[in-house]
DNA sequence: ACTATATGAGATAAAAAGGTCTTAATATAT
DNA sequence: ATATATTAAGACCTTTTTATCTCATATAGT
């Protein structure tokens, strides 16, 4: 029931692409890595995998970089998580029990279940572009940098 | 917002102690490790730390083992988590953002907040003995073993 | 064609988490 | 006192995760 750092980086940077890139304006790993403050060689690896998984797109060479096609924009955050972590982890019992379900629940099973449903609403039932637009509309910055107040 | 395996083991085995041990009936690592199916040398290490943290108690020698005093029983699951993982991890932003709070929320901040509050009700506002009694009353087995139906 | 600039791929390294082993210390029972 | 059972402590090993490095490949612009 938790994301690896890899998944978090992948989510943030894909949402970054959704907001800032398109087929005519591709963005390099380096720029994204600096913008959201993640280690760039690590992000490069993640992007390779996301491209293979058809979550994002890329072109090589000058003015190349990463971006989302219309089709990519329809993918969900859960697709990203599935691509990077797999879905097992996010569905595991919070206390690690092998057998934990409605008829055999751990002490926090129903609490976790409710949470998971809400998360899935955002991460499965909404596509990346929709989520990105929501974030932009709310004026949020998704970065791992410290956001220092301007002086 | 997630527990390490170490924390999970510690929680399960402390709840095991709450249910099965007391000052007159101490239980050895080996027995507990087998009962809930966790690696026993690893659990031994965790128990050392829990003893230092005054979450559980121990005595050496024949008929020795681990158990909970009245004082230990008043500790909470959150005390266990704090002792093993520290509290930072459980309070981190679900997406890993450095700055994520009510006035600067990540896309799932309020969902996570609600979840955290519910978890805290069980893990901070209830002591170990109370939680254990609740679990016993509900007839739950907290083990990592597969619970195979009896033939 | 050549050069510069990107990504792609695979090997490698470093750090963290998970797990084991060995020896010492201590308490109990005989 | 001695043997035995148990935890305590610390070193050690393994696996997974995170991160880096190097070289190959593709593309654009000149």
Domain range list for chain B: 5-86+127-146
CB A56 within 8 A of CB A68: yes
Q: Is A94 left (phi over 0), alpha (psi -120 to 50) or beta?
A: alpha
Contact (CB<8Å) B1/A5: no
Does A51 contact strand D, using a CB cutoff of 7 Å? Answer: no
Enumerate the residues of chain B whose CB falls inside 8 A of the CB of residue A119. Answer: 108, 111
Q: Using a CB cutoff of 8 Å and minimum separation of 24, what contacts does B44-52 make?
A: B46/B6, B46/B9, B46/B10, B46/B13, B46/B84, B47/B13, B49/B83, B49/B84, B50/B10, B50/B14, B50/B80, B50/B83, B50/B84
Q: What are the E-state strand segments in chain A?
A: 57-59, 65-67
**Sign of the dihedral through C-alpha A128, A131, A133, A135:** negative
Name the 3-class secondary structure at A57.
strand
Helix A77-84 × helix A40-52 angle, to 10°: 100
With CA of B3 and C1' of each nucleotide, the nearest comes out as C17
Q: How confident is the model at residue A43 (pLDDT cuts 50, 70, 90)?
A: very high
Structure tokens given for A35: 């913008």
What's B101's DSSP letter? B
Q: Work out the mean pLDDT of chain B and round it to a whole number.
A: 94
Residue A1 has pLDDT above 80, yes or no: no
Which strand D nucleotides have any atom less than 7 A from protein CB atoms?
A: 4-11, 17-22, 25-29
* C-alpha R_g of chain A: 17
3-state secondary structure at position B80: helix
| DSSP H or E run through B43 | helix B40-52
Interchain CB distance below 8 Å, A96 and B146: no
**Phi, psi torsion values for B14, nearest 5 degrees:** -70, -40
Share of chain A above pLDDT 70, in %: 96
Q: Name which of B76, B81, B96, B140 to mutate to probe chain A: the one with the most chain A Cβ atoms within 10 A of its Cβ.
A: B96
Q: How confident is the model at residue A40 (pLDDT cuts 50, 70, 90)?
A: very high
> Is residue B1 predicted with pLDDT exceeding 80?
no
Backbone angles phi, psi at B8, to 5 degrees: -60, -50
Q: How many CB pairs under 8 A join A and B?
A: 92
Phi and psi at residue B101, to the nearest 5°: -155, -175
Q: Which nucleotide is closest, CA of A49 to its C1'?
A: C8
Q: How far is Cα B51 from Cα B72, in angstroms, rounded to an integer?
A: 10
- The phi, psi pair for B58, rounded to 5°, reads -150, 155
Of B22, B84, B74, B6, give the one whose Cα is nearest residue B51. B84
Instruction: Report the predicted TM-score, pTM, of the whole model to 2 decimal places.
Output: 0.93
> What fold is seen in the domain B5-86+127-146?
Arc Repressor Mutant, subunit A (1.10.10)
End-to-end CA distance of chain A: 39
Residues 59-118 of B with CB under 8 A from A: 94-99, 104-108, 111-112, 114-115, 118
Residues B95, A5: Cα–Cα separation, whole Å: 9
Q: In this structure, are residues A43 and A13 in contact, taking their beta carbons and an 8 Å threshold?
A: yes
pLDDT in tens, A12-27: 999 999 999 999 999 9
CA distance B56 to B138: 24
Span B80-135, pLDDT tens digits = 999 999 999 999 999 999 999 999 999 999 999 999 999 999 999 999 999 999 99
pLDDT at B136 over 80: yes
pLDDT value at residue A148: 62
Report whether B36 contacts B144 (CB < 8 A). Answer: yes
Is residue A149 over pLDDT 70?
Answer: no
Q: What is the DSSP code (8-state) at residue A22?
A: B
């Amino acid at each position: 029931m938790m994301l690896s750092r890899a998944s978090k980086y992948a989510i943030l940077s894909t949402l970054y692409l959704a907001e800032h890139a398109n087929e005519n304006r591709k963005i390099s790993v380096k720029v994204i890595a600096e913008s959201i403050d993640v280690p760039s060689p690590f992000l490069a690896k993640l992007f390779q995998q996301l491209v293979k998984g058809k979550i994002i797109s890329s072109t090589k060479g000058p003015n190349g970089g990463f971006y989302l096609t219309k089709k990519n924009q329809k993918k969900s955050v859960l697709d990203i998580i599935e691509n990077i972590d797999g879905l097992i982890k996010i569905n595991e019992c919070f206390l690690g029990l092998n057998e934990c379900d409605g008829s055999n629940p751990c002490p926090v099973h129903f609490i976790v279940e409710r949470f998971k449903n809400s998360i899935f609403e955002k991460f499965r039932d909404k596509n990346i572009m929709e989520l990105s637009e929501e974030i932009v509309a709310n004026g949020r910055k998704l970065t791992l940098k410290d956001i220092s107040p301007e002086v």
